[in-house]
C-alpha cells in the first residue's frame, strides 16, 4: 500500500469514533432510539448496504462521503418517531426525514473533526442496491452496522486528505 493510501485509510479509521458518537447521539436525541452496533467492516464494494440511502459529502482539508442506509421499514420508522406520521412505503416525507438525520450525523461528525475544517453538503437521497456510491477513490470505505428499535441500518463512510499543492522556491 502506498503512503498516500495508507494515510487516507488512517483518516477513515480515525473517523470511526466521531461517526459512532454522532450516530448514536442523533438517533437517541431525535428518535429516542438506542442503536446497537452489530458489525464494523471494510467495504470492498461501492454499492450501498441498504436500498435507501442519504448521502452527505464532506469537503475541506479532507474530502469524503457519509452514507446513512436503511431498510424501508426502518426509514418509515424514522418518520414516525420524528413527527408521529405513519408511512407504509417510501414517500417524500420519509426521504426528507432520513436525509435530515444524515445531515445531523454529518454535522456532528464535522464538529468533532475541527482540524479538518469540513463543510457538509445538503443530503442527497437515493434508492436501489445497484448504484455506485461516490466514495473517495483512494480509500476503502468502512461500514458500521446497527440494529435499533425501528430496524437495522448502517453508516458507510470514507474520508481522504485533500491534496495540498506544495510551493517550492527555486534554489
Partner 1 sequence: MKVLLVDDSGTMRAIQRRCLNKLGIEEIVEAADGIQALEFFERNSFDVVLSDWNMPNMDGLTLLKEIRQRNKQIPVIMVTTEAERGRVLTAIEAGVSDYLVKPFTPDGLRDKLEKWVSTQV
Interacting positions 1-40 with partner 1 (CB under 8 A): 25-26, 29-30
Residue 155 binds partner 1 (CB under 8 A): no
C-alpha 101/C-alpha 98 separation (Å) is: 5
Residue 83 binds partner 1 (CB under 8 A): yes
Contact characters 99-128, partner 1, x per CB under 8 A: xx--xx-xxx-xx--x-----x-x------
C-alpha 90/C-alpha 72 separation (Å) is: 7
Residue among 54 and 139 whose Cβ is closer to partner 1: 54
Please give the span between the terminal C-alpha atoms of the chain, in angstroms, as a whole number.
33
Question: How many residues line the site for partner 1 (CB under 8 A)?
Answer: 24
CB-CB neighbours of 157 under 10 Å = 27
Q: How far is the CB of 68 from partner 1 (least distance, A)?
A: 13
Give 3-state DSSP helix, strand, coil % of the chain, rounded to 5: 35, 25, 35
Residue 86 binds partner 1 (CB under 8 A): no
Could you tell me the three cell numbers for 123?
443530503
Residue among 9 and 58 whose Cβ is closer to partner 1: 58
Q: How far is the CB of 117 from partner 1 (least distance, A)?
A: 9
Q: What is the DSSP letter of 152?
A: -
C-alpha 125/C-alpha 28 separation (Å) is: 22
Q: Please list the residues that pair with 39 across neighbouring strands.
A: 145
Residues at the contact surface with partner 1, assessed by CB under 8 A: 25-26, 29-30, 79, 82-83, 85, 92-93, 96-97, 99-100, 103-104, 106-108, 110-111, 114, 120, 122
Amino acid at each position: 500500500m502506498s503512503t498516500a493510501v495508507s494515510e487516507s485509510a488512517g483518516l477513515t479509521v480515525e473517523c470511526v469514533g466521531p461517526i459512532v458518537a454522532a450516530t448514536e447521539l442523533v438517533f437517541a436525541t431525535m428518535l429516542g432510539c438506542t442503536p446497537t452496533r452489530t458489525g464494523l467492516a471494510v467495504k470492498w464494494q461501492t454499492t450501498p448496504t441498504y436500498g435507501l440511502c442519504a448521502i452527505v459529502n464532506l469537503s475541506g482539508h479532507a474530502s469524503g462521503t457519509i452514507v446513512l442506509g436503511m431498510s424501508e421499514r426502518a426509514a418509515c420508522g424514522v418518520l414516525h418517531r420524528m413527527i408521529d406520521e405513519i408511512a407504509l412505503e417510501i414517500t417524500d416525507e420519509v426521504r426528507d426525514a432520513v436525509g435530515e438525520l444524515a445531515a445531523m450525523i454529518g454535522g456532528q461528525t464535522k464538529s468533532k473533526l475541527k482540524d479538518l475544517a469540513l463543510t457538509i453538503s445538503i443530503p442527497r437521497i437515493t434508492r436501489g442496491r445497484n448504484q455506485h456510491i461516490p466514495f473517495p477513490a483512494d480509500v476503502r470505505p468502512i461500514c458500521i452496522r446497527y440494529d435499533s428499535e425501528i430496524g437495522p441500518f448502517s453508516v458507510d463512510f470514507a474520508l481522504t486528505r485533500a491534496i495540498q499543492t506544495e510551493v517550492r522556491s527555486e534554489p
